[in-house]
Amino acid sequence: MPARRPASSWSVALMMRPQAADRYRSQNSARRIVIISRDNTRTYTFSPLALFGGLTLFLTVSLGFLAATTYLVFRDDLFDLVRERNADMQQAYEDRIARLRSEIDRISSRQILDSVAMDEKVEKIMSAQQGIADRQRAVGDLIDKARSIGLIDGRNAAITADKRAALDPADVTGSVNAYADAGGANLIDRQFDALTSTAPKAAAAKVDLRTTDGKPDFKAIASHLAAVDAEQAKAVEAIADAANSRVDAAVEIIADAGLRVNVPEAPADSQDAVGGPYIPMAGAQALAAAMQEADQAFGRIALVKAAAARLPLVRPMPGGDMTSNFGSRRDPFLGSLAFHAGIDFRSPTGTDIRPTAPGVVTVAGWSGGYGNMVEVDHGNGVTTRYGHMSRIITHVGDRVTRDTVIGEVGSTGRSTGPHLHYETRINGTPLNPINYINAGNRLASLLP
């Protein structure tokens, strides 16, 4: 019999009987743990699943203990790490918010600036448009003035067809021919048609004043307004050119008749020893310069018309037949060739006689072969005589006009019947009155 172990010792043995082993193998290989303490023996049987669960529990508890220990040891570091990460994230969000706010402010500022710039552009365009409207009214007034002085007629033509036909080629001066050859009259017609035409606006070319996104194209609008200014300037320049051309033609017509009028020359820049870069004038400036030139041209027209009105350029007896020309003729009493210093107009006795130009009466009485005769001094050495009156109705020193009745037709002096003997003299020398009458007719056609 084997010796017994001391009572104070514990013995743990795993006893596997053959029968038990067979039974263990037959019962899923169950495990037993036998605890022997003195006289007590305890046997514990564990299945593999229980052992696995216990081992798992042990490992779990161990890992939990390890994790708890690690947490306690590294807790502050973890908290610091988390705080740093949160701080970094917060800073990143704040930076992003700041950038977004900055972008919003930039966009808002740009929108404000764009709005201000838009307002400034709109105000500038409206101001330019108002300026064009004001200048258009000025151009309209200029056209009305041109129409009132006969430069254009109701059909917006600078020189109407009937008036052009009335100008015999031999009577038209070189300056007018040069102007017509250059197409000046046609240019004026086109400009007046553009400014005053009543044709539907749909016939005009449409101008696209918007960008591709539908917004106003301020550059195109400004360009369009500048083009309007340029067209206005061209029209006014055409008016000024026509006015100056007519004045030049009128002066030459009067000069061809042997008379002289003092009319300032049209402004012209010297072409001798000049130069420099070409800098075109802005539309408004060009129009202002053209308006000034047109006003000067109208002033010249007024001067030449006033000067012509002081000259004996009209027919003295509109209803009378001309019975004798100026120059050599057979004397009605002697039958021999003689010089006739004037022209005769047959008219009934008592017909009113009016002077052909304003002036001062220098002779009013009987004057030999003239019979009752009146002489009127028109200034600058120009005088006219009216003979064979039946009655004189004026006195020496009287100032007369074309509407003043100075006498009546008669047959006094060397006369074969009632008529008016009319003379035109320059510095006392008799000249053919018909030349002045024809010049007056041409002037009336040119400057109505």
CB count within 10 Å of CB 376 equals: 26
Whether residue 440 contacts residue 310, with contact meaning beta carbons closer than 8 Å, is answered with no
Average pLDDT over residues 197-209: 42
Domain presence at residue 356: yes
pTM: 0.56
Q: Which residue has the higher pLDDT, 367 or 153?
A: 367
Q: Tell me: the pLDDT tens digits for 307-347?
A: 889 999 999 988 888 999 999 998 888 888 999 999 999 99
Angstrom distances, CA of residue 386 to CA of 349, 350, 390: 14, 14, 11
Same domain, 286 and 330: no
Cα separation of 112 and 122, whole Å? Answer: 15
Which of 97-106, 181-190, 314-323, 349-358 has maximum average pLDDT?
A: 349-358
Element housing 171 (H / E): none
Cα separation of 110 and 442, whole Å? Answer: 69
CB count within 10 Å of CB 176 equals: 22
**Range of 349's domain?**
321-446
What percent of the chain is predicted at pLDDT more than 90? Answer: 26
Same domain, 289 and 435: no
Same domain, 232 and 296: yes
Q: Which range (27-31, 288-292, 357-361, 414-418) has the least confidence?
A: 27-31
3-state secondary structure of 311: coil
**What residues have CB less than 8 Å from 13, skipping those under 6 apart?**
34, 36
Counting the structural domains of the chain, the total is 3
Q: Which residue has the higher pLDDT, 404 or 332?
A: 404
Domain presence at residue 314: no
**DSSP code string of 318-365:** TTSEEEE-SEEEE-TTT-SEEEE-SEEEE--TT-EE--SS-EEEEEEE
Same domain, 227 and 263: yes
Backbone angles phi, psi at 322, to 5 degrees: -80, 120
CATH number, residue 433: 2.70.70.10
Give the pLDDT of residue 163. 36
Cα separation of 122 and 128, whole Å? Answer: 10
Domain presence at residue 137: yes
Same domain, 284 and 333: no
Cα separation of 405 and 392, whole Å? Answer: 9
Written in H, E and C, the secondary structure of 298-309 is HHHHHHHHHHHH
Domain presence at residue 302: yes
Same domain, 326 and 236: no
What residues form DSSP beta bridges with 310? none
Give the pLDDT of residue 365. 96
Whether residue 13 contacts residue 34, with contact meaning beta carbons closer than 8 Å, is answered with yes
Domain presence at residue 116: no
Same domain, 193 and 133: yes
Domain presence at residue 365: yes
Backbone angles phi, psi at 391, to 5 degrees: -150, 140
Domain presence at residue 110: no
Q: Tell me: the pLDDT tens digits for 357-386?
A: 999 999 999 999 999 999 999 998 999 999
Same domain, 130 and 253: yes
**DSSP code string of 365-377:** EE-GGG-EEEEEE
Is the pLDDT assigned to residue 165 strictly greater than 60? no
3-state secondary structure of 400: strand
Per-residue DSSP letter, 210: B
Q: Tell me: the pLDDT tens digits for 61-97?
A: 888 888 888 877 777 777 778 888 888 888 888 888 8
Whether residue 315 contacts residue 361, with contact meaning beta carbons closer than 8 Å, is answered with no
Same domain, 134 and 257: yes
Query: What tokens were used for 189?
Result: 């017609």
Domain presence at residue 107: no
Same domain, 297 and 179: yes
Same domain, 157 and 240: yes
Same domain, 325 and 300: no
